[in-house]
């Protein structure tokens, strides 16, 4: 009989397999699928937000990359970017406009406009790229100079205790004409005496400070006087807002010259009465009574010079004299119709018949 304690011990080892679908290999495939879908939707978004001109440029680039990259074309974006085919507005559906070409066709060099003959029109001459670039550089320098002048005037007004009280009446802004400086009236702080061109003391000081500051730039200056819509009792036949606005503009010019402004810098002093109100909804508002000082840009100054040349040619050619003679010629006399006999009543006619 065998001993049970001497039986051999058998150990079974079970080898586990990959587990089929319970492994981790599917995660790699799913990650690849998500990445592909993300790239697909990103491509759809780019195609939907790209203009038609850019799409055509991309297509042409892959068809003939060297030709489009070197020569450009209607499908390369047509922008003024350094890199051909670039653009800044992807919301357009018809591509970008050739901004460089359009500007070079319409722009005229300001330096050449000073020396050209009056008979030569802008349409007969196109500026070269070098002249266009020079013009833009001059405009950038001039704008920076006017911005610096605006800051200097604001600093001078802020540094003076007496002028600090009128800083709310001083309005300065950059416009297409240049730097416009407006001094507005307030109800309790007018610039002039009522219905007069006599300046208040604080207005004198402000104009003198502005006049000295304007010598820092080479630009010419234009002054304009404005009034409110309140009329004089005599109407337009006597002393009116036209005379008042002109005298106030001229008084401001004199005070700026006293402050140190070069008199040769002023090219125009105009009185516009109430034709250009500051507050159109309230023509009688005190803010409409103001003095406008415009530091003219080079372009605005050239336009003003062309108008002066045109007016001078009209005077020298006799057009103005003929117009004045025609206006001064007496009008033909019109014969007045003979007065009709007043109609008599029935009683008067009856009595006249009885007298006969």
Residue 27 lies in a domain: no
Residue 176 lies in a domain: yes
pLDDT digits (tens, 9 = 90+) for 165-198: 888 899 999 988 899 999 999 888 899 988 889 9
| pLDDT score, position 101 | 44
| pLDDT score, position 254 | 95
Residue 77 lies in a domain: no
Residue 247 lies in a domain: yes
Residues of the chain with pLDDT under 50: 68-69, 74-124, 320, 324, 334, 336-337, 339
| pLDDT score, position 120 | 45
Tokens encoding 54: 């850019």
Residue 125 lies in a domain: no
Residue 102 lies in a domain: no
Residue 130 lies in a domain: no
Q: How many residues does the chain have?
A: 356
| pLDDT score, position 78 | 47
Cβ contacts of 40 within 8 Å, gap of 6 or more = none
CATH code (residue 169): 3.30.1330.60
pLDDT digits (tens, 9 = 90+) for 282-323: 999 999 999 999 999 888 888 766 555 555 555 555 554 555
Residue 316 lies in a domain: no
Number of domains in the chain: 1
Which residue range is the domain that position 190 belongs to? Answer: 137-310
């Amino acid at each position: 009989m065998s001993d049970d304690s001497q039986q051999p011990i058998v150990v079974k080892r079970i080898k586990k397999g990959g587990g089929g679908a319970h492994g981790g290999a599917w995660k790699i495939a799913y990650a690849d699928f998500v990445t592909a879908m993300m790239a697909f939707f990103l491509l759809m978004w780019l195609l939907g937000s790209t203009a038609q001109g850019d799409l055509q440029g991309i297509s042409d680039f892959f068809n003939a990359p060297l030709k489009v990259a070197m020569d450009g074309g209607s499908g390369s974006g047509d922008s003024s970017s350094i890199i051909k085919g670039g653009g800044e507005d992807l919301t357009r559906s018809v591509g970008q406009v050739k901004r460089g070409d359009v500007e070079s066709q319409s722009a005229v060099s300001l330096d050449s406009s000073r020396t050209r003959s009056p008979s030569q029109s802008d349409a007969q001459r196109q500026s070269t790229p070098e002249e266009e670039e020079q013009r833009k550089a001059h405009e950038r320098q001039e704008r920076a100079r006017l911005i610096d002048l605006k800051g200097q005037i604001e600093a001078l007004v802020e540094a003076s205790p007496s002028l600090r009280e009128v800083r709310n009446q001083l309005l300065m802004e950059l416009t297409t004409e240049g730097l416009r400086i407006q001094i507005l009236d307030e109800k309790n702080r007018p610039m002039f005496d009522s219905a007069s061109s006599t300046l208040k003391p604080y207005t004198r000081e402000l104009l003198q400070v502005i006049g000295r500051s304007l010598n820092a730039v080479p630009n010419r200056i234009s002054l304009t006087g404005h009034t409110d819509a309140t009329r004089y009792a005599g109407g337009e036949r006597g002393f009116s807002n036209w005379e008042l606005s002109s005298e106030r503009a001229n008084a401001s010019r004199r005070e700026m010259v006293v402050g140190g402004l070069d008199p040769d810098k002023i090219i125009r002093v105009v009185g516009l009465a109430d034709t250009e109100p500051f507050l159109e909804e309230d023509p009688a508002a005190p803010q409409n009574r103001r003095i406008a000082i415009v530091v003219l840009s080079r372009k605005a100054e050239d336009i003003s010079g062309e108008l002066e040349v045109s007016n001078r040619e009209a005077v020298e050619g006799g057009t103005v004299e003929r117009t004045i003679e025609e206006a001064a010629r007496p009008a033909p006399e019109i014969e007045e119709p003979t007065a009709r006999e007043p109609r008599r009543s029935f009683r008067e006619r009856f009595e006249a018949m009885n007298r006969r």
